[in-house]
């Protein structure tokens, strides 16, 4: 510590001001730190093309993480997202391969995801089974459904028009990335400016007092899981479109990446706080880390170790900042 | 009120989903094969490592069809990549009563209890696709090293021929530490090591998954825009690289080689921008496994390793292999 120059009081004020700023923007500061580090390590990093690639690569996990944020805000968890991604992708691919139109195929896939999400919400609220268990069961069951659609075969030769959603561009921007940005924006508005969105924080903070204050807790929780299911399904459609193939084994382990992104973004796993912008930052942080590893040509064993260390370090920082009053 | 609506909505959607899933599946119901009763049918048990990959599903279906054709019955269990479940599964098969066991091990040493149980019950075991340690009659599989070598020889050809090959290669590897990955790597490296002008600049792991390969290759292509050839440990990942090159308008500038004979890859060869794959026909492997099993029961002698064989598929002979009904090309 430096010796105090001013009176003690002003020093406290100064430092608390610094912490206020840091608390608010710690994720952004962390991201900028990594960007600076990455830029200094590789001349290929700070290029427009690289960031457009990242925008496209991250859109699937990004869209899934938005739904996950909603679920975690109400103190739930959704382990089924990866399987729902695969299932919805298969549904869309099979319908498309069967000659159905884009709208029908994608629509049915989204409805299917919404239905699976609603089942999650329904079982957690009405049957009072913990979300962890319900969605773990969904993870297994939806994977089974995804395999059942074609007996485990991938579906390829999808129509070229479908490819536009996941791999197409509007000007220099990837369509899938723009879709992710759009949904992020909508989600931010919903969480900030709607009664429904604000009620989610109350539910996550204390479900009982939310109920007593007239919030329809159960209904809103079911809606939240339905949103998560539908966004996972959308991510599944984007993934199938990006890879031009429906694969029943796609997106394994995606749920853990999504949870990591949400938590990195400062959303509390116990519910009641956090937001979609933070998650957006969390997804970027993870994408930047993997990207720079690849650009540097770091062996993938080290990549795994560093990724783990960085996630833990970022969380410790989050905790440290949050606990500083 | 709201709940009633919700339940109805759920029911309807579920029904719709079942219909969608039902229309697309065309699996025949489990056979109620008419018993001719004349002689006792031989029962082959098959413990499969996982059925969540098209390769193993095709292997399974071909084995079933072959067993039917040869008048035997095949019963199978799916270990779902779980070694503990596999040992339990085999015990269940033995309890149920089988004459011989085909075993595709989750890992070679983990199946010791299963092999021991089979031995005690007097049931011969044949390892299929993946080796198993212990008392097995024989191992029906493929030499992944030979497959990698075929890919390596093609790479040398594409880069200028033996003794004159030049260029930068990116190798997209499978699952870190796996036997198949190591064999497909080592076999590929063999012919390349003879070429002073060839350098493997990057070797990311992408777990045999296309999405991972796309992400990694997108990054690596920026870091190495002058790459001449990409080799992936399976076609699914190679197709990921294909797609990245397509997006960057670089198709044709970079040669692409995969392994497995995935039909999607062979169809891409017609464009002239996918340069080779190595046959890894699961159907034929399943047939050989069943033939070997019935042979062992007949008292025939087999070598330690029965090779189901492989061959190179390039744009020159791709037309012979195209069959849109198959996921993997089959042996000609």
User: CA–CA distance from A15 to each of A315, A321, B50 (Å)?
Assistant: 22, 13, 58
C-alpha B92/C-alpha B96 separation (Å) is 6
Q: Average pLDDT of B46-56?
A: 89
b/e per residue A163-192 (b: at least 16 CB within 10 A): bebbbbeeeeebbbbbbbeebbeebbebbe
pLDDT-above-90 percentage for chain B? 72
What kind and span of H or E run contains B280? none
Token pair for A94: 């099979």
Reported confidence tier of residue A3, pLDDT bands at 50, 70, 90: very low
- Beta-strand ranges (E) seen in B123-254 are 125-128, 138-141, 166-172, 197-202, 229-232
Whether the pLDDT of residue B32 is over 70: the answer is no
What kind and span of H or E run contains B76? strand B73-78
Whether the pLDDT of residue A220 is over 90: the answer is yes
Residue A109 phi, psi (nearest 5): -60, -45
C-alpha B68/C-alpha B163 separation (Å) is 51
From the list B151, B140, B232, B154, the residue with the least C-alpha distance to B187 is B151
pLDDT at A15: 66
Whether the pLDDT of residue B35 is over 90: the answer is no
C-alpha B313/C-alpha B315 separation (Å) is 7
Angle between helices A217-243 and A160-167 (to 10 degrees): 110
Whether the pLDDT of residue B141 is over 60: the answer is yes
Q: Average pLDDT of A280-291?
A: 90
Residue B141 phi, psi (nearest 5): -160, -155
Residue of B nearest to A299 (CA): B204
Whether the pLDDT of residue A228 is over 70: the answer is yes
C-alpha A90/C-alpha B130 separation (Å) is 29
Contact status, residue B118 vs residue B125, Cβ threshold 8 Å: yes
Q: What is the pTM of this model?
A: 0.81
pLDDT at A117: 98
What kind and span of H or E run contains A190? helix A175-193
Instruction: Name the residue with higher pLDDT: A1 or A97.
Output: A97
Reported confidence tier of residue B10, pLDDT bands at 50, 70, 90: low
A residues 112-171 closer than 8 Å to B (CB): 112, 114-115, 118-119, 122, 126, 143, 145, 147-154, 156-157, 167
Q: Do B13 and A147 touch (CB under 8 A)?
A: no
Give the lowest-confidence range in A224-233, A290-299, B205-214, B319-328: A290-299
Predicted confidence (pLDDT) per residue in B71-128, tens digit: 999 999 999 888 888 998 999 899 889 999 999 998 888 898 899 999 999 999 999 9
Give the lowest-confidence range in A46-50, B153-157, B226-230: A46-50
- Residues of chain A with Cβ-Cβ distance to B17 below 8 Å are 91, 112, 115, 145
Query: Which residues lie closer than 8 Å to B118 by C-beta, 6 or more apart?
Result: B90, B94, B101, B124, B125
Whether the pLDDT of residue B33 is over 50: the answer is no
Contact status, residue A246 vs residue A87, Cβ threshold 8 Å: no
- Residues of chain A with Cβ-Cβ distance to B25 below 8 Å are 148-151
pLDDT at A8: 54
Q: Average pLDDT of A47-69?
A: 93
What value does the CA radius of gyration of chain A take, rounded to a whole number of Å? 21
C-alpha B161/C-alpha B167 separation (Å) is 11
Whether the pLDDT of residue B36 is over 50: the answer is no
Q: Are strands B138-141 and B166-172 parallel, antiparallel or unpaired?
A: unpaired
Give the lowest-confidence range in A113-122, A267-276, B2-11, B242-251: B2-11
Q: Which of B61, B223, B235 to mutate to test the interface with A (most CBs of A within 10 A)?
A: B223
Predicted confidence (pLDDT) per residue in A237-275, tens digit: 999 999 888 989 889 889 999 999 999 998 988 999 889
Chains A–B, number of C-beta pairs less than 8 Å apart: 121
C-alpha B154/C-alpha B316 separation (Å) is 13
Q: Do B54 and A44 touch (CB under 8 A)?
A: no
Residue of A nearest to B13 (CA): A115
> Chain B closest CA to A154's CA: distance in Å?
7
pLDDT-above-90 percentage for chain A? 61
C-alpha B193/C-alpha A225 separation (Å) is 54
pLDDT at B34: 41
Q: Does A201 touch chain B (CB under 8 A)?
A: no
Residue entry with tokens 């159960």? A218
Reported confidence tier of residue B24, pLDDT bands at 50, 70, 90: very low
Average pLDDT in chain A: 90
The full DSSP string for A15-75 is: HHHHHHHHHHHHHHHHHHHHHHHHHHH-TTTS-HHHHHHHHHHTHHHHHHHHHHHHHHHTT
Give the one of B27, B214, B223 whose C-beta lies nearest to A151's C-beta: B27
Give the lowest-confidence range in A320-324, B36-40, B198-202: B36-40
C-alpha A232/C-alpha A63 separation (Å) is 7
Reported confidence tier of residue B8, pLDDT bands at 50, 70, 90: low
Residue of A nearest to B8 (CA): A115
Reported confidence tier of residue B1, pLDDT bands at 50, 70, 90: very low
Reported confidence tier of residue B226, pLDDT bands at 50, 70, 90: very high
From the list A285, A245, A244, A248, the residue with the least C-alpha distance to A265 is A285
Q: Average pLDDT of B292-311?
A: 95
CA B123 to chain centre: 27
Token pair for B255: 């040669």
pLDDT at A95: 97
Reported confidence tier of residue A25, pLDDT bands at 50, 70, 90: confident
pLDDT at B176: 83
Q: Does A250 touch chain B (CB under 8 A)?
A: yes
Q: Average pLDDT of A28-49?
A: 87
C-alpha A263/C-alpha A249 separation (Å) is 26
Query: Residue B23, Cβ neighbours under 10 Å: how many?
Result: 12
Q: Does B248 touch chain A (CB under 8 A)?
A: no
Q: Does A301 touch chain B (CB under 8 A)?
A: yes
Residue of A nearest to B177 (CA): A301
From the list A38, A34, A118, the residue with the least C-alpha distance to A71 is A118
pLDDT at A22: 72
Residue of B nearest to A60 (CA): B211
Q: Do A53 and B219 touch (CB under 8 A)?
A: yes
Reported confidence tier of residue B28, pLDDT bands at 50, 70, 90: very low
Contact status, residue B240 vs residue B210, Cβ threshold 8 Å: yes
Give the one of B10, B54, B214 whose C-beta lies nearest to A243's C-beta: B214
Predicted confidence (pLDDT) per residue in A201-213, tens digit: 999 999 999 999 9
Longest dimension (CA), chain A: 76
User: CA–CA distance from A168 to each of A244, B40, B52 (Å)?
Assistant: 12, 60, 30
Q: Is B104 helix (H, G, I), strand (E, B) or coil?
A: coil
Give the lowest-confidence range in A1-15, A79-93, A167-181: A1-15
pLDDT at B287: 96
Q: Average pLDDT of B29-36?
A: 40
Contact status, residue B132 vs residue B108, Cβ threshold 8 Å: yes
Q: Do B52 and A143 touch (CB under 8 A)?
A: yes
Reported confidence tier of residue B15, pLDDT bands at 50, 70, 90: low
First-last CA distance in chain B:
63
Reported confidence tier of residue B291, pLDDT bands at 50, 70, 90: very high
Give the lowest-confidence range in A250-254, B30-34, B203-207: B30-34
Instruction: Name the residue with higher pLDDT: B25 or B235.
Output: B235
Q: Do A145 and B21 touch (CB under 8 A)?
A: yes
Whether the pLDDT of residue A323 is over 80: the answer is no
Give the one of B57, B209, B223 whose C-beta lies nearest to A295's C-beta: B223
Q: Is A141 helix (H, G, I), strand (E, B) or coil?
A: helix
> Chain B closest CA to A249's CA: distance in Å?
7
Sign of CA dihedral A210, A212, A217, A219: negative
Longest dimension (CA), chain B: 79
| Burial class of residue A116 in the structure, from the number of CB atoms within 10 Å of its CB (0-12 exposed, 13-18 middle, 19+ buried) | buried
Q: Do A49 and B222 touch (CB under 8 A)?
A: yes
Q: Average pLDDT of A92-110?
A: 96
Q: Does A314 touch chain B (CB under 8 A)?
A: no
Q: Is B140 helix (H, G, I), strand (E, B) or coil?
A: strand
Q: Do B222 and A251 touch (CB under 8 A)?
A: no
Contact status, residue B142 vs residue B309, Cβ threshold 8 Å: yes
pLDDT at A5: 44
B residues 261-280 closer than 8 Å to A (CB): 263-264, 267
pLDDT at B51: 86
């Amino acid at each position: 510590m430096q010796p105090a120059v001013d009176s003690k009081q002003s020093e406290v004020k100064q430092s608390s001001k610094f912490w206020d700023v840091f608390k608010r923007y710690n994720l952004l500061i962390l991201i900028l730190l990594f960007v600076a580090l990455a830029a200094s390590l590789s001349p290929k990093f700070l290029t427009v093309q690289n960031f457009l690639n990242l925008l496209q690569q991250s859109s699937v996990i990004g869209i899934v993480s938005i739904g996950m944020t909603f679920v975690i805000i109400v103190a739930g968890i959704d382990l089924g997202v990866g399987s729902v991604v695969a299932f919805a992708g298969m549904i869309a691919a099979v319908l498309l391969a069967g000659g159905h139109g884009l709208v029908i195929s994608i629509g049915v896939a989204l409805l299917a995801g919404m239905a699976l999400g609603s089942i999650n919400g329904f079982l957690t609220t009405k049957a009072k089974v913990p979300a962890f268990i319900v969605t773990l069961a969904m993870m297994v069951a939806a994977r089974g459904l995804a395999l059942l659609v074609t007996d485990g075969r991938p579906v390829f030769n999808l129509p070229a028009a479908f490819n536009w959603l996941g791999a197409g561009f509007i000007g220099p921007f990837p369509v899938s990335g723009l879709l992710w940005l759009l949904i992020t924006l909508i989600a931010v508005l919903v969480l900030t400016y709607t009664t429904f969105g604000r009620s989610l924080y109350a539910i996550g903070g204390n479900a009982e007092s939310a109920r007593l204050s007239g919030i329809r807790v159960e209904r809103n929780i079911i809606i939240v899981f339905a949103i998560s299911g539908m966004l996972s399904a959308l991510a599944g459609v984007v993934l199938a479109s990006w890879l031009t193939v429906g694969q029943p084994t796609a997106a394994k382990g995606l749920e853990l990446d999504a949870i990591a992104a949400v938590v990195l973004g400062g959303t509390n796993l116990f519910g009641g706080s956090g937001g979609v912008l933070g998650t957006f930052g969390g997804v970027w942080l993870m994408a930047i880390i993997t990207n720079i590893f690849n650009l540097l040509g770091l062996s993938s064993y080290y990549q795994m170790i560093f990724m783990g260390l960085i996630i833990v370090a970022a969380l410790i920082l989050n905790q440290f900042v949050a606990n500083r009053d | 009120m709201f709940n009633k609506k919700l339940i109805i909505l759920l029911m309807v959607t579920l029904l719709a989903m079942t219909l969608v899933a039902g229309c697309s599946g065309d699996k025949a119901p489990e056979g109620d094969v008419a018993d001719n009763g004349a002689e006792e049918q031989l029962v082959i048990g098959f413990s499969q490592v996982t059925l969540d990959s098209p390769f193993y599903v095709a292997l399974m279906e071909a084995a079933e069809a072959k067993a039917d054709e040869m008048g035997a019955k095949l019963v199978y269990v799916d270990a779902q990549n779980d070694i503990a479940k596999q040992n339990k599964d085999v015990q269940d098969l033995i309890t149920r009563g089988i004459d011989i066991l085909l075993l595709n091990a989750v890992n070679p040493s983990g199946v010791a209890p299963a092999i021991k149980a089979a031995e005690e019950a007097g049931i011969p075991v044949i390892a299929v696709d993946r080796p198993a340690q212990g008392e097995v009659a024989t191992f029906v599989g493929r030499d992944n090293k030979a497959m990698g070598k075929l890919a390596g020889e093609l790479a040398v050809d594409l880069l200028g021929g033996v003794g004159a090959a030049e260029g930068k290669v990116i190798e997209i590897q499978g699952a870190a530490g796996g036997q198949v990955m190591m064999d497909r790597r080592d076999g590929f490296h063999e012919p390349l090591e003879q070429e002073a002008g060839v350098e493997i600049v990057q070797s990311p792991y992408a777990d045999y998954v296309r999405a991972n390969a796309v992400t990694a290759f997108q990054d690596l292509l920026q870091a190495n825009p002058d790459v001449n050839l990409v080799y992936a440990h399976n076609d699914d990942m190679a197709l990921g690289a294909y797609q990245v090159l397509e997006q960057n308008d670089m198709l044709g500038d970079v040669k692409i080689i995969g392994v497995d004979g995935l039909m999607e890859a062979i169809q891409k060869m017609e464009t002239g921008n996918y340069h080779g794959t190595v046959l890894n026909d699961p159907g034929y492997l399943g047939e050989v496994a069943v033939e070997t099993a019935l042979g062992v029961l007949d008292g025939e002698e087999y070598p330690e390793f029965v090779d189901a064989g492989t061959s190179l598929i390039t744009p020159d002979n791709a037309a012979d292999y195209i069959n849109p009904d198959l996921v993997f090309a089959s042996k000609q």
